[in-house]
Amino acid sequence: MVMELQQYFTDVLIIGAGLAGLSAAVEAAGAGKRVMIACKGRVGRSGNTVITQNNMAVVWDALRTNDSIEGHIEDTLIGGGHLNDPDLVQVLAAEAAESIGWLMEHGVRFQRDKEDLLIKGSPGHTRFRIIRAVGVTKSNRTLGLALSVPLAEKAEALGAEFLERILIVSLLVEEGRVCGAIGLDRNKAGLSLICAGSVIIAGGGAGGLFQLSTNVPDVCGDSYALGYQAGAAVRDLEFIQFHPAVTVSTPRLVFSTSPFADGAVFRNRHGEAYMKRYSPQGDMATRDIMARANFKEIAEDRGTEGGGVIADFSAVPAEVMTRNYPDICGALQGSTMIEVAPAQHFMNGGIAMDSECRSSIPGLWVCGEAAGGLHGANRLAGNALTEAAVFGRRAGRLAANGCKQSRSVWSVSLIENYLKERYGRWADLGISADLTPTNSWSELKQELKQCMSLYAGVVRTEKGLGKAKGNLLSISDRLTNWPFKSYGDLLRYCELKMMLLAANLIINACLKRPVSMGSHYRED
């Protein structure tokens, strides 16, 4: 098969088009640089940002909330078991308010309390510092469009180019510096070569590696695989946050933990409010403790028939529920209780970055959930979207300043040889240009998800992690010999190769930390 080659040149290439990537794009384009955003779906309308609950942590009005930047720093460090990079935590807390103001300037609206922002509490935060974006949709599943759409429109107005429906399969590295990327077109059989002066990875986390996750399905570890494959260091990948309160019934909804600051409690099927057995903070414990408690209640047969526990909102005043949590009210449909269970939610680790968003390899910057170092062993609610805005903006500015343009000439054969080094079986001769896969790849993908959910889930053991290593090796061996006849097969082959690499990085990180800490819980 002869694949069409599209070649692009830009100053800054951004991989990922959620809040972090779009913040980077607006800043880099605003600095006068040519910017290209590459993503698997549509810019501003795909990825995890779209389905977030829009909660952001910020010291907005210190006098009104009796808060301080130092308090935000301390809470974040305590929540992360002091494994956080303190320089990153300082940047997050100090620049959060400026970034919220920047979002407002670009059309993002937030919940109001009369003339000021509505500020709420959340477990792990010792002061009320959670605000929430509102806006462009009535669906609880696409609330994040309130963040992504205004920034996508701004980036486009500033001249950023959108390269949509592209699966980035490798970064380009020349003389030890990242200088672009190679992608596969998801609409037709074709290669995209993007030469860039600097590259930013903002492609999110790895929820797609697990059976039950709050993430969109195609966020499946690409960021970590691409960075590691290029030579970038990764860190803290054993620390995976499992959200304690995801509805058991479909459509699955992620409930904010903020109502627990207003009186909500978890109950088992016997009606017992059990959180005090797991933490002195009770229902104000951090999410990792909540998730383990819920997991234990279910595993020890105190859960509901539906395989969950009960989130009970009856103690929260009705006017508070209506004003602060309209999405939860909608899901409750007049009730005050609903079944929930833990689900993979957020990767606390990722590609290691410094306070200037640089990875360990020149030419590569990173931001958002793709990055590691800020959260340490556990993330506090609201810090993720604030991180995306604060460090997305930083990455955009600094990558724009650090451009070193490369205009190497790459032929199709040279690209294919380059990819063969990374993927082994590349485009076997004779495959068709058909986008439809000729064989079912779901079998291997489901085995991988089952393996990760079973052995790298809420509770881990050395024995289980060893089994995971063996299972992933078996899947890899079978993938090497899996039938491979069409371009659609090639797309899925590359996706699974990156998933396997990311999964192995996570399992190795879990094995290297034999003690329990934060969101990494070793039962042994």
Q: Which two tokens stand for residue 215?
A: 């993430």
Annotated active-site residue in 129, 132, 235, 287: 287
CA angle 120, 124, 127 (to 5 degrees): 45
Beta bridge partners of 113: 116
Selection from 37, 363, 15 nearest residue 173 by Cα: 363
Do 61 and 116 contact (CB within 8 A), yes or no? yes
Do 293 and 338 contact (CB within 8 A), yes or no? no
Beta bridge partners of 167: 184
* Cα separations in angstroms, 141 against 50, 195, 206, 214, 308: 8, 36, 19, 11, 21
Do 21 and 177 contact (CB within 8 A), yes or no? no
The CA dihedral of 91, 380, 134, 396, to the nearest 10 degrees, is 30
Do 209 and 506 contact (CB within 8 A), yes or no? yes
The secondary structure of 470-496 as a DSSP string is: HHHHHHHHHHHTS---BHHHHHHHHHH
3 state DSSP class of 253: coil
Whether a cis peptide bond, with omega within 30° of 0, leads into 251 is: yes
Q: Which two tokens stand for residue 302?
A: 């105190």
CA distance 485 to 488: 8
Selection from 388, 494, 427, 503 nearest residue 168 by Cα: 494
Q: Which two tokens stand for residue 126?
A: 């010792």
141 is catalytic: no
Do 394 and 358 contact (CB within 8 A), yes or no? no
Selection from 111, 237, 255 nearest residue 513 by Cα: 237
CA distance 58 to 109: 15
Q: Which two tokens stand for residue 458?
A: 């809420």
Q: Which residues are annotated as catalytic? A: 287
